Amino acid sequence: MSTPPLDQTPAGSVPPIVDVVWLRDRLSSDSTMVICHVGSTMAGPEPEHDFEHRHLPGARFVSLDDALAAAPSGTAGRHPLPSPAEFARELGELGVADDATVVAYDDRGGAFAGRLVWMLRILGQRAALLDGGIGAWVADASDDVSDDVEHGPVTATPAERAVREWPLDALADAIDVAKHLADDGVVIDSRDPARYAGEIEPIDPVAGHVPGAVNLLFNDNLDADGRFRSADDLRARFASVVEDSDEPIVYCGSGVTACLNALAMEHAGFGLPRVYVGSWSGWTADPDRPVATGPTP
């Protein structure tokens, strides 16, 4: 039997994106804190090697491919959500308890770690993305701090974790996307403009985008230094296509980098949008779904 979200520890008590100063302060006062280094084979064949080379003190390695996604499955896309039971088991083995405050990072500007943060926040757990990742942590270190990063594997003490169903109101499927667009709703494609336009498609068999979707590249939430733009800048960015009364849906190639747009929108003061987890890989797995090309919706 599933357990309801953690109302006693709402995700809203922790912002979706935090900086190193926030993390250092919270580490001294929050005994439940767990830091997670998220890696994926999308960045190379052995992502755990980067973790073992250096990671934040006490960080746990979380495999996007194994812990944050099920096996590819047709219209469910290349990175479907894992079953609630499998997600609970994976995080429990890493020592991430139900009452933990989780801060996640990667070395891709949050492109991978955002998926874990979004998954936890929709379940009601306190979770945030570390702005700037390990680079920001190292840059902030004092000269006399010798243990600011660690090396090698980390063995965690397993924790009990309840099984919680994915909240349907946080998710969208292809039918939801089509209906939302038919009702003049906003759907945001988070991929590179060239992929959106159908000029290139390095991963999926069909190029283009969902007809009617607008394009806001997930990486454009960051400045030239790889840090998140200010909340005001982000608000202006998304306000170009979304009004406060809208209930947008975001997607990408496989439901991973769309989470970065979702968290940026929440950080900017919009509600957390629904994520179409199947995304482009799931949409194009159905040959009856329409496809648009070009730089406009």
Structural domains of the chain, with CATH = 11-140 (3.40.250.10), 168-283 (3.40.250.10)
Our measurement of the distance from residue 258's CA atom to the centroid of its chain's CA atoms, rounded to an integer in Å, reads 7
Q: What percent of the chain has pLDDT over 70?
A: 94
Q: What does each C-alpha distance from 54 to 152, 220, 246 come to in angstroms?
A: 7, 27, 42
Averaged pLDDT, 84-106: 97
**pLDDT tens, position by position, 175-204:** 999 999 999 999 999 999 999 999 999 999
The pLDDT value given to residue 90 = 97
Q: What percent of the chain has pLDDT over 90?
A: 87
The pLDDT value given to residue 228 = 97
Q: 63 has which bridge partners?
A: 39
DSSP letter (8 states) at residue 117: H
**Euclidean distance between CA atoms 38 and 104, whole angstroms:** 7
The pLDDT value given to residue 118 = 98
What angle, rounded to 10 degrees, do the helices at 20-27 and 133-140 form?
70
**pLDDT tens, position by position, 208-217:** 999 999 999 9
Concatenating the DSSP letter of every residue in 136-180 gives HHHHH--TT-S-SSB-S--PPPP------PPPGGGEE-HHHHHHH
Which amino acid is located at 35 in the chain?
A: I
Averaged pLDDT, 57-81: 97
CA dihedral 32, 37, 42, 44 (to 10 degrees): -150
pLDDT above 90 for 146: no
**Euclidean distance between CA atoms 16 and 79, whole angstroms:** 22
**Euclidean distance between CA atoms 34 and 53, whole angstroms:** 19
The catalytic residues are 252
Q: What does each C-alpha distance from 99 to 33, 48, 127, 155 come to in angstroms?
A: 9, 26, 10, 20
Band (pLDDT 50/70/90 cuts) for residue 246 is confident
Averaged pLDDT, 19-34: 95
Band (pLDDT 50/70/90 cuts) for residue 258 is very high
Band (pLDDT 50/70/90 cuts) for residue 10 is low
SS3 283: helix
Band (pLDDT 50/70/90 cuts) for residue 4 is very low
Our measurement of the distance from residue 281's CA atom to the centroid of its chain's CA atoms, rounded to an integer in Å, reads 17
Look up the pTM and report it: 0.94
